[in-house]
Structure 1
Amino acid sequence: MGTVDSGFCGNKCGERCKKAGVVDRCLKYCGICCEECKCVPSGTYGNKHECPCYRDKLNSKGKPKCP
């Protein structure tokens, strides 16, 4: 059980992004981060200390990549 299936990421990101302004974009980036980090912080915002990999990913502009 080393890898996380897409159901895990889909469920976690669905929860994470349900209040996002642009839900499809949130789901896209959350999905990328979840696949790489095998972790999504709880709740719809914040709590990134739960997932240092997810928290520390940056986009090409140096901004947080993961919602």
Structure 2
Amino acid sequence: MDKLYRSIAAKIIQRCHGSIKITKHGKIIEVYDVNRHIWSKGLAGLIIKEECKNADLKEWEFAHVRTYVIQQLLK
């Protein structure tokens, strides 16, 4: 499952072209969605939810994917 979460997190970062503003503590502030062509403060959760549903993950697994997105961005 770890590998799956990492691949979905990579898809999310790729979808946003890395345009995700994040605090040094790991909180997502703003994200740019290329599909909608907008910057948004609340869109990060929606993008994560959409990509997780495309991968047929359960709702309780969305939080795991979010942590991998944050980990990859902080590196």
User: What TM bracket, shorter-length normalisation?
Assistant: 0.3 to 0.5
TM-score for the superposition, normalised by structure 2: 0.34
The structure whose residues are more often strand, as a share, is 2
- What's the TM-score, normalizing by structure 1? 0.37
